[in-house]
Every structure is written in C-alpha cells, then in structure tokens.
Structure 1
C-alpha cells in the first residue's frame, strides 16, 4: 500500500503545477545581462523543477529606488531578461503569450513562463503603453502595489475609499479588448468593487488569501472572493506567512485559507500564487536592516517547508491528507490557473 506522503507527492509530480506569482525576475536583473540566462538555469530552474512547476507567472515589479523616473527603463530590462532566459534555455523553458503556447511548452516537457505587470508605475496615465507591453508578451496586469498610482489606490491606502481613476477605467477596458487579465491582488478594497462592477471578462487575484481568516488589507473579503468567482475568474492563495496568520505558521494555515476559498468560490476557482520572498529579501535587504519588519510583521517568518518553490509538493500533500479529492488537488496545484490563462486569451 502506498503511504500518504508518497501518494501526495506522487499526485503532485503527476499534476500540472502552476504558480501565479514569483518575483524572481527582480533577482535576475541584478546580474550582468550576459548572465541572466545562466543564472536562471543554475539557480532558479532546479528549484522550480523540484517543486514540480510546469507554468510560472513572472511579475514585473518595480522597486521604489526606480520610481518614478526609472520605472519604464527597469520594466523593459525585466522584459528583456525574461526573453533572454527563454532564448538562452530553449530546451528548458518557453515564454508564452497564448494558451496554445502554454500547452505546447508543457507538452514538450518545457516550463511555460508568462509575464505580468505588478503595479503600473511605468504606465502612469499613458495607458497605450499597456498595448506595448502586450506586444512584448505581458498577459496579466495589476494597477498598483501597496500605494497609489495614476490608475488606482493599493490596499495600503484603503482608508481613502478610492475607486479606479478615469485612467484606470480606460485601462481596464483596454486590457479586456486586448484579452489581457486584470489582477486585483494589491488593489484597494473599494477599487476591487469598482473592477467587479466594470469587468466583462474573468478577473484574477494572483496572490491573495482570505481576510475572514486573517484580517490583513492584502487579503480578500468574502464578497470579493465570490465576486471574482462570479466573473469566471480565479483566486490564487498567497503562501506568505504574514498574510495567513499571526500565529506560528504551519501548513494547516495554508490549507485553511484554501478551504475557505473553495467553500466560497468553488474548487475550480482556486490556485496558488506563492509570493516566495526568502531569496529576494536575503539578497536585497542589508544585514543591518534585518529582520525586516513591515506593518509589525517579521518578513523572515515563513511557513516551514515553504521557503521556496521546491516546497510546493507539501501543499498538495497537505490537501490530500486533509481529505480533498485528487481532482480538486490537481486543479488547485495548477490546472485551474492553466485553464484560466487559456480562457483569457484570444
């Protein structure tokens, strides 16, 4: 008889595994351009493959040091890095623009990479640049991070009660016309309401958890979870401990958030958006500033085993152990996200 842990890990190995959020491009572009492809191949590809990842969304996030003047330039460097990763490792990965390209990459044994914009400081009110980024391969867009952009307020500004700006409304319409997905993770609560009022296509939250289980502004209310599902969209659970609990984090907290989302949205509307930060903070945060405390949370406290992509099989194992059906676990592990990305393309 197969042991439960073997069964869980075997299911994960056999499943299509997809992650809606890993900021690894921020670390790639810290290297000289001639090393971008080899750095990814030597450092990140082994971790992703150990985690079973077949499909990885790569956000383009612009740190404060580059805003406002350098935001567009740094964004283009990150786009170029993604293209060089794919061109330098054609046997391992493919940069995908369509659902068909994702299918082709995975069927050939390669990892499918999909670009996203996290926040839009490089856009400001020049929303026509969203079409430029679409031409370059970007398929998912969020309008802001914690703070304010010309398109919307982030969740850190919830007290403003702001909806999308006029430019934000125009940007949403343009994204829908281009077949690009709007991402509401990081968006302020009232702005999420506004998106759900306007959206005519499926909406995604690439890395958000449940506000009912942990009252953090980065998490989604039950109404928002239901609203995203009603668009035909997807909510991808954030595995970062600070958004899961104030207690010492465990895999049980991850399972609890997933179960709450599936109860509200249905098991076909839930995925994983890991938001792994350990490698990022280890390299970017000086020793004198550690531990890094953000909003009273020690950013170095992580769910044991989920320090990076190689830990993803633990989530599938925990769900299977908790009694979830194999098909449901497979969907959450990745096929739901793969299906969503196929459905949001022309």
Structure 2
C-alpha cells in the first residue's frame, strides 16, 4: 500500500475551562470565542526557521520581542517568518503544535537524529519562556495551560522519514492498515495532511480513533492535490476527526488570496463535514505566502470576527469555540481514550510486543495470570517518578488514578473498584478482583492538596490521614519516620510493599524494632518480591518465605501480608515469575511450616489481616 506520511505527536494536565456565555448579542465579535476556549493551531514551522537561520542556537533569540522588523526574522528578509510572542498574544492563540520538521532531501539522511535535534530546540524554546509557554502532552494539559494564561505547546513530528531509522515498532508495521492501527494502540494521532487522496480514504476506513488533518484545506474550493476532497470530508464526519484549515496561499486560491478565501474553505468544510469537524492549522513559519488579512499570528481574531459577521447564524460563539479548539480537544481526548481501549488485559501478555517479558522486565500482570494466581484484591499504584521534569506531580498522579479507573471500567466482569474493607469481600463474593488505588510518594500531594500540605509536620500529616480515613503507608520511608509515624497514628498503619531488614539488610526493609511497633499498632507488613529487597545472588521463592516467616516470628501471623510490587520491579525471585505464582508461595509455606501456616493463618496472610486493618482505619475515621 501507499506509505503514510506520519505526524507523531509527542504529547504532558488538569482540565479547567472558563465560564462560557450561552448567548451573545449580534454585535459581539466572533473573537470572543478565543477568550472562552483555547484556539488550537495544528501547524507552525518556527522550529525549522530556527534551524535554517540560527542553526538551533537560541540563546540570543528574542522570541519575546516583535520580530516583524528583525534583521534575521523580519518580514522583509524572511518570507516564511510570521511568529513571535507579542503577536501570539495579540492573536489570542491558545495552543500551538510546534513542528519538528526535517527536509526529506537532508544530505546526511540521518533523519532520526535531526528530528531529535528539532524536538530538542522546541523544548529549549519552551524552557526559555516558562512564563509564556507550557509544554503540553495531553488534551487536559491544553486547558491547564489556558487557565495559567500560557500558550499550550505541543510537538508534532512531520514526515514518515523522521521515524524510519529507529522506531522499530512502527517500521515493522509497514502496511498502511497496520501503521494506523499501531498508532491507535500507542495513542498517537494519525495526521493525514499532505498524503494522497487514496491514503486519506483508506486510513480513515481503518482507524479506530479520530484522525486529524493538521494543516489542510478544501479541494472543492481550490483544487490543489494536497487539499481534502468532499468524499473524504464525509468520512471525517463519520470518523469523528477534524480538518484544520491551512493558510498557505498556494493551497487557498489563485491570484490575490485574502482572508475571505480562508473563510470560504472553513465554511465549505463546515457545510460538508459539519461545524464539529473543522479547526485551524495555519502553517505559519512553514509557508512563504499568506492571505491578505492573515499576515501573521496576530490576525486570528480578525478571522473569527469575519466569520461571525458574514454568517452569524452558523458562527455563534459556541460554534466559533468549536472551530477554535473544542473540536480538536474532543479528538485529542478520544485518541487518549482509544489507547487504553486497545490494551488487551484479558489476554496473556507474556509474549506481547510491548508488555511481554522479553521486552518489559517489569511486566508481570494480566487477567489470565491473575486468575491463575488466585489473586483476590490488588492495590493498583498511581505512581509518578520523583524525577519528573515538569514537577506537575498532582496532575500526573490524577492522570494515573484516571487510567486505573478506566482499566477497571473496561473489565467490569473481572475487576471491581473498591474503597472499603467490606468492598473487598463483596468483590470476592462476586468472583471479581477487588481493585483499590494507592498513591505512592509524598511528592504526589505536595502541589495542590492543600489540606495535607498545611499539615506539614509528620505527626499532623499522620493524624490528618487518620481523620480522613486514609491509610498511612510507610513503605520506603526512613527508619526514623517509620517509628515516629507508628507512635503518632491512632489507626493501624500498613507497609504496602516492604520486607524484613533482619533477613536482608536493605535500608528500605523494616527493622525488628519497627515490627514490634507494628504488632502493638495492629498494622500489617506486606512482603515485597523485588530481588533487590529480598536477597543477593540467585533469589528464589524460599527467600520470600524467609521474610514472611521472620515477620510472623517478630510481629505475629496477624501482621503480615503480600505486597509483591509486580510490574514496578525488574527482577523477581525464581518461582515467583509473575502473578500466576501466588498459589505456589502459599503451598510452599504450608509445606515448610504446617504448624504455623494452617489454612486459617494462610487466610490471614492472604487478606484477612489487611481486611482487619482496613476496617479499623474506617472505624478510626468515625471517631474524629
């Protein structure tokens, strides 16, 4: 089949939009829509100009000044230069795809390296202007930037040649249909701007997610082969995608092209596909001529005003908001949802190209192995790395919580969302996996959860968690914090994935003096399977048994549980290779120590101990 020219979107937000007027008077300017919802422009080639003019050396690039008269970027010397921050603000632009473009005729043919350099210069530009630009990789991130009065800055990679050398996953899926489906699965937008008419049509037929045309116009208005024909526009409607209109004069019309010609393209797409399927993709800084009236990025409001003035019945403020960004936001959200929709948790993933053990050493989990492992309840952890560059810990944690809930929602016959002790038993009775959510790391709450942030002293944090009915999880905190927190807490604490220091002296494991306090507190230590915490050399299931037995010896059989850390670790003991192996551990415990590990005590280890703690945490909450 024909090759796709791909745009790979490298997407990092909490949604919040401004109050929207329901109706407006006829004399209200159309550009009011740009105050209500971010205007999204699907294509801007400023990064390529940075390469051509400055060789990507941007230390002295004054993006915060008006560059229209600049000796390098001014309109008299650079016919493809239209962009700077003052004109962006004047133009009320809300979100911009900065394009990492590399010419197909690059002499070195090292497209991946050059593309990486263009991505890097985009990120450096964003970093240079943190008060004005916000790096964005999600639909809600656009709204977050808009709320912060910054330009949401997304990165687009233009051209299939930019990925051919190194991205083996996409390279292997070389047929059109497989490329499109693989992009759907990875959560990548399929951008069909500038591909052939046949490829447009075939790709839409195959795609399970909405497609975009990030900078294309209407063939029926101007018959350029890169524009979109009506039969494809009709398919865009069915697909739920969007055509974002290009401003390049060569694609818009012949002769003296003006803003009115762009209006004609927008209206035609609205007539054929509908107002829900059209957007803006100017191609500023990537074209050498633009229509009169749209000379640079400051002119977007004029376009929206003209649309409303010329056709107020169609171009209400609500519909202008759709054109500005709501249509694109809807597509973006759908692409994100489709990514999880293509995750096949119901299948054994051991040989999966993304989650298989040969490619993912920290992947151990799927529904078939969960059932084989007789797992009854699982804490799914909303974990955000402490090293996250953007430090948007709360937002990223909420995104992780959201994906957990979406996985649970996707498998209602197998998973049951649980927020109480009795909910665990209900799920077990329903033959479903009780699915709880844990948030790992104090950094995940520091930015926005003011209630806990104000209680910054350890004792106050613990007591506030008691009051809120939150479990105090002390895995991975220091020895002193473990001890002090237990002393303060009025409810039992948990160690959701920790092992015994006396068996293996890793600083993250629990020392005997703390185990004694856990017993007095009524808490539970749930044993981790990570080799690094369990032992040295060749670690086996018997090493885990030793940890369990030591905690049982020191704290008692009422205070030990299982906290494997599967899918968060890269090495596990021999005999505990994945979630299917829990029965082997319980069988071995009973075999090694049948006097201690009666069925009743194995039930405590399995879940009764944790259930007791959960119930007590709920009771303590009621006492405040």
Q: TM-score range by the shorter chain?
A: 0.7 to 0.9
Q: How does 1:176-195 map to 2 (within 5 A)?
A: 176-195=184-203
Aligned pair partner of 2:308 in 304, 320, 333: 320
Query: How far 1:179 sits from its partner (Å)?
Result: 0.9
Give the match's secondary structure for 2:294: coil
8 Å CA contact 2:237–2:277 kept in 1: the answer is: yes
* Change in 2 beyond 3 A, CA 1:272/1:75: same
Give the match's secondary structure for 1:218: coil
Q: Paired residue for 1:119?
A: 159
* Change in 2 beyond 3 A, CA 1:38/1:342: farther
Unaligned runs of 5+ in 1: 131-149, 152-164, 282-298
The RMSD of aligned alpha carbons is 2.6
The whole-number CA distance in structure 1 between the counterparts of 2:200 and 2:188 is 17
The whole-number CA distance in structure 2 between the counterparts of 1:256 and 1:62 is 31
8 Å CA contact 2:38–2:143 kept in 1: the answer is: no
Q: How does 1:136-215 map to 2 (within 5 A)?
A: 166-215=174-223
* Change in 2 beyond 3 A, CA 1:68/1:264: farther
Q: Paired residue for 1:103?
A: 143
Aligned pair partner of 1:310 in 294, 298, 301: 298
Q: Paired residue for 1:333?
A: 324
Report 1 or 2 for greater relative contact order, CA contacts < 8 Å, sequence distance ≥ 6.
1
Q: Paired residue for 1:133?
A: none
> TM-score, with normalisation over the residues of structure 1?
0.77
The whole-number CA distance in structure 2 between the counterparts of 1:129 and 1:90 is 34
Query: How far 1:321 sits from its partner (Å)?
Result: 0.6
The whole-number CA distance in structure 2 between the counterparts of 1:247 and 1:106 is 37
Give the match's secondary structure for 1:172: helix
The whole-number CA distance in structure 2 between the counterparts of 1:340 and 1:198 is 16
Give the match's secondary structure for 1:303: coil
How big is each residue's C-alpha offset from its partner over 1:229-255, in whole Å with a ceiling of 9 and x where there is no partner?
211111111112211112421222111
Between structure 1 and structure 2, the one with the greater Rg is 2
* 1:19 to 2:41 alignment: yes
Query: How far 1:129 sits from its partner (Å)?
Result: 6.4
Query: How far 1:167 sits from its partner (Å)?
Result: 4.2
Q: Paired residue for 2:58?
A: 35
The whole-number CA distance in structure 1 between the counterparts of 2:107 and 2:326 is 36
Q: Paired residue for 2:514?
A: none
Query: How far 1:312 sits from its partner (Å)?
Result: 1.0
Query: How far 1:345 sits from its partner (Å)?
Result: 1.9
Q: Paired residue for 1:238?
A: 246
Give the match's secondary structure for 2:226: coil
The whole-number CA distance in structure 1 between the counterparts of 2:96 and 2:271 is 26
Q: Paired residue for 1:342?
A: 333
Give the match's secondary structure for 1:66: coil
* Change in 2 beyond 3 A, CA 1:90/1:209: same
The whole-number CA distance in structure 2 between the counterparts of 1:196 and 1:69 is 30
The whole-number CA distance in structure 2 between the counterparts of 1:236 and 1:339 is 14
Regions of 4+ moved over 6 Å: none
> TM-score, with normalisation over the residues of structure 2?
0.44
* 1:225 to 2:199 alignment: no
8 Å CA contact 2:209–2:334 kept in 1: the answer is: no
The whole-number CA distance in structure 1 between the counterparts of 2:292 and 2:104 is 29
The whole-number CA distance in structure 2 between the counterparts of 1:334 and 1:197 is 25
How big is each residue's C-alpha offset from its partner over 1:165-203, in whole Å with a ceiling of 9 and x where there is no partner?
934433222211111110111001111122022111101
8 Å CA contact 1:82–1:95 kept in 2: the answer is: no
Give the match's secondary structure for 1:201: coil
* 1:276 to 2:289 alignment: no
Q: Paired residue for 2:270?
A: 262
8 Å CA contact 2:32–2:317 kept in 1: the answer is: no
8 Å CA contact 1:202–1:344 kept in 2: the answer is: yes
The whole-number CA distance in structure 2 between the counterparts of 1:269 and 1:236 is 8
8 Å CA contact 1:210–1:261 kept in 2: the answer is: yes
Aligned pair partner of 2:88 in 33, 42, 48: 48
* Change in 2 beyond 3 A, CA 1:199/1:9: closer
Query: How far 1:51 sits from its partner (Å)?
Result: 0.8
The whole-number CA distance in structure 2 between the counterparts of 1:67 and 1:340 is 36
The whole-number CA distance in structure 1 between the counterparts of 2:223 and 2:108 is 31
* Change in 2 beyond 3 A, CA 1:269/1:26: same
Unaligned runs of 5+ in 2: 1-24, 68-83, 338-624
Q: Paired residue for 1:159?
A: none
